[in-house]
């Protein structure tokens, strides 16, 4: 059990670091969507199903969609 | 192993907070700064929920069968985080609309160049 | 230079926080008000989901504040984004038949699922905010799958305003009759685990579900319309 949680936390931190390193903004947005999904799993393991549902529906679907629409109206590559 | 069992959630939450803070302080592109803001928000919500956890507790929802007499975790931080997630998405939408408007006006999203320009 | 200074600052803050967090043991009960809500929640509100009874009944005024913040964000977004004077005509190729039919088939199913989640908010995990986000995802699917279709903006705004009005009116009725404070639970509690129980909690969650769903759908519609 503790190994599953450690593995998930390590993947979450690696993808958060990747979101700061990528130059292509679409890749950074997808990395932040992965952070949100793993946070939803950790919310469920902390016995909070309401919060897990809210984070999965709002953080992983709607925030990513709003980011992708905003990036397609402005520049795509960070200079 | 005992140390890891006690503090793994705190390490994850504070790792996210510090990475988000680093992105907000250092990066130049405005949309990258807003992505860092979203990561910071997720880290703070994770920390709040992990404060309210009780060992060997269950979710605070009653069932029809009164099975076991286990403790329930604290319901108050979950209500606070529910509000905080929705407010986070509202702030993010407004910030992105301001970023789009700024791009239409200045034709760049580099914060150093926007700061140097006059009206 | 900027990177080095910010890394040193974050390092100093991290050491301070690590020294403070060591004194917070993980997994021990910390507050006493949570115990009161768990012990007395079932008989005072009649809801089986304690988080729902905290959000709507015990701390209902904070939920009203949050709905207001969401409304201000939606209005601010509509005010900041202006459509440009000349429209750049881009040719939108229509989507294929399989994609079109699939999205139109899935759309009412997702709406039903979202409505199920916010109607049963006091019995199972879920509630108004989760159901509203799922309804907004259904509208996002229509935008992505069938290109060129738009939802009518007046109906979205009307649904959002009416739902907010229902919330405030129910609170004011609780002020007039019942327990004489704002958002008091004046309807009968009913039997536990039934659908029509727990006083005003299902009514408020249905209003919040409609409001959040139509608001987030309106935000996405405004962002996509500004581009084309």
Kindly list the partner chains of chain B, i.e. chains with 3 or more CB atom pairs below 8 Å: A, C
Q: Is A62 on the interface with B (CB under 8 A)?
A: yes
Q: Flag if B61 and A49 touch (Cβ within 8 Å).
A: yes
Which among C77, C75, C64, B92 has a CA at the least distance from the CA of A59?
A: B92
> Please, what is the angle between helix C128-145 and helix B76-106, to 10°?
30
Structure tokens at C115: 């409505």
**Partners of B109 in beta bridges:** none
Interface of C with B in 167-206 (CB under 8 A): 192-193
In angstroms, what CA-CA distances link A21 with A74, C59, C142?
Answer: 20, 41, 33
Q: Which pLDDT does position C199 carry in this prediction?
A: 82
Residues B60, C21: Cα–Cα separation, whole Å: 26
The rounded distance, in Å, linking the Cα atoms of A41 and A5 is: 10
Kindly indicate the confidence band of residue C207, based on its pLDDT and cuts at 50, 70 and 90: very high
- pLDDT tens across the length of chain B (119 residues): 677 777 899 999 999 999 999 999 999 999 999 999 999 999 999 999 999 898 888 888 888 777 666 788 999 999 999 999 999 999 999 999 999 998 988 888 888 888 887 65
pLDDT at C228 over 60: no
Domain boundaries, chain A: 2-73
Whether residue B96 and residue A47 make contact (CB cut-off 8 A), yes or no, is: no
Whether C26 has its CB under 8 Å from any CB of chain B: the answer is yes
Q: A11-20, C116-125, C181-190: which range is least confident on average?
A: C181-190
Contact A2 B81 (CB under 8 A): no
Beta bridge partners of C49: B61
Average pLDDT in chain A: 92
Contacts of C79 in chain B (CB under 8 A): none
Q: Does A9 touch chain B (CB under 8 A)?
A: yes
ipTM above 0.85, yes or no: yes
Q: For the CA atoms of chain A, what is the radius of gyration?
A: 14
pLDDT of res. B15: 93
**In the beta sheet, which residues pair with residue A77?**
A24
User: All domains of chain B, ordered by start, with CATH?
Assistant: 2-61+71-116 (1.10.287.3510)
Can you tell me the distance from the alpha carbon of A50 to that of B34, in angstroms, rounded to the nearest whole number?
A: 26
Please tell me the predicted confidence (pLDDT) of residue B119: 59
CA angle C74, C75, C79 (to 5 degrees): 120
C-alpha B85/C-alpha C25 separation (Å) is 25
CB half-sphere exposure, B56, CA atoms < 13 A: 3
Contact C130 A54 (CB under 8 A): yes
- Residues 6+ away with beta carbon under 8 Å from C91: none
Residue C212 predicted with pLDDT over 60: yes
Identify the weakest region by mean pLDDT among A2-11, B7-16, B53-62, C128-137. B53-62
Low-confidence winner among A63-72, B45-54, B78-87, C149-158 (lowest mean pLDDT): C149-158
B 19-48 residues with CB < 8 A to A: 19-20, 22-23, 27-29, 31-32, 34-36, 38-39, 42, 45-46
SS3 state of residue C92 = coil
Structure tokens at A15: 């993808």
For residue C131, which of C224, C225, C188, C209 has the smallest C-alpha distance? C209
Q: What is the pLDDT of residue B40?
A: 95
Residue for token digits 């989640």?
C117
Report residue C228 CA to chain centroid gap. 28
Residue A78: how many other CB atoms lie within 10 Å: 17
B-facing residues of C in 52-111 (CB < 8 A) are 54-55, 59, 62-63, 66, 69-70, 72-74, 76-77, 80-81, 84
Between A and C, how many CB-CB pairs are < 8 A?
A: 43
Closest listed residue to residue A39, CA positions, set A4, A19, A9: A9
Torsion sign (Cα): B73, B76, B79, B83: negative
pTM beyond 0.95, yes or no: no
Amino acid C81: pLDDT: 86
**Tell me, what's the pLDDT at B115?**
83
- Residues of chain C with pLDDT > 70: what percent? 94
Task: Estimate the share of chain A in helix, then strand, then coil, as percent rounded to the nearest 5.
Answer: 85, 5, 15
pLDDT digits (tens, 9 = 90+) for C1-16: 888 999 999 999 999 9
CB proximity A54 to B under 8 Å: yes
What is the pLDDT at residue C90?
65
- Supply C113's token pair: 């699922």
Q: Quick: pLDDT tens for C50-89.
A: 999 999 989 989 999 999 999 999 999 989 987 766 566 6
């Amino acid at each position: 059990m503790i190994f599953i949680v450690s593995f998930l936390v390590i993947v979450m931190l690696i993808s958060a670091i990747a979101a700061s390193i990528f130059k292509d903004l679409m890749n950074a947005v997808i990395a932040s969507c992965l952070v949100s999904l793993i946070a939803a799993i950790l919310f469920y393991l902390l016995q909070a199903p309401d919060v897990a549902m809210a984070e999965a529906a709002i953080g992983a679907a709607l925030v990513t969609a709003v980011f992708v629409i905003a990036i397609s109206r402005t520049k795509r590559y960070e200079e | 192993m005992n140390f890891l069992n006690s503090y793994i959630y705190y390490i994850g939450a504070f790792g996210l907070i510090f990475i988000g803070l680093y992105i907000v302080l250092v990066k130049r592109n405005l949309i990258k700064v807003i992505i860092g803001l979203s990561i910071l928000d997720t880290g703070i919500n994770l920390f709040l929920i992990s404060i309210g956890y009780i060992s060997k507790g269950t979710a605070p929802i009653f069932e029809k069968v009164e099975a076991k007499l286990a403790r329930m975790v604290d319901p108050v931080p979950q209500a606070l985080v529910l509000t905080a997630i929705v407010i986070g998405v509202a702030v993010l939408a407004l910030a992105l609309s301001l970023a789009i408007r700024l791009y239409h006006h200045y034709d760049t999203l580099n914060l150093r160049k926007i700061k140097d320009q006059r009206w | 230079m900027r990177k080095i200074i910010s890394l040193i600052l974050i390092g100093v803050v991290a050491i301070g926080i690590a020294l403070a967090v060591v004194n917070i043991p993980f997994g021990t009960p910390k507050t006493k008000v949570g115990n009161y809500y768990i012990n007395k929640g079932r008989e005072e509100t009649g809801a089986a989901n304690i988080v729902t009874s905290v959000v709507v009944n015990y701390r209902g005024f904070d939920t009203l504040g949050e709905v207001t913040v969401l409304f201000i964000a939606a209005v601010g977004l509509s005010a900041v984004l202006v459509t440009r004077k000349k429209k750049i005509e881009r040719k939108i190729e229509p989507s294929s038949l399989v994609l079109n039919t699939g999205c139109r088939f899935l759309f009412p199913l997702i709406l039903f699922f979202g409505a199920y989640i916010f109607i049963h908010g006091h019995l199972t995990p879920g509630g108004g905010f989760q159901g509203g986000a799922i309804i907004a995802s259904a509208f996002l699917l229509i935008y992505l799958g069938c290109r060129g279709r738009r939802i009518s903006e007046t109906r979205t705004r009307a649904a959002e305003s009416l739902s907010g009005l229902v919330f405030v009116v129910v609170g004011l009725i609780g002020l007039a009759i019942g327990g004489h404070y704002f958002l008091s639970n004046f309807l009968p509690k009913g039997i536990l685990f039934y659908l029509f129980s727990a006083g005003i909690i299902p009514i408020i969650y249905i209003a919040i579900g409609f409001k959040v769903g139509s608001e987030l759908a309106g935000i996405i519609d405004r962002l996509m319309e500004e581009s084309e």
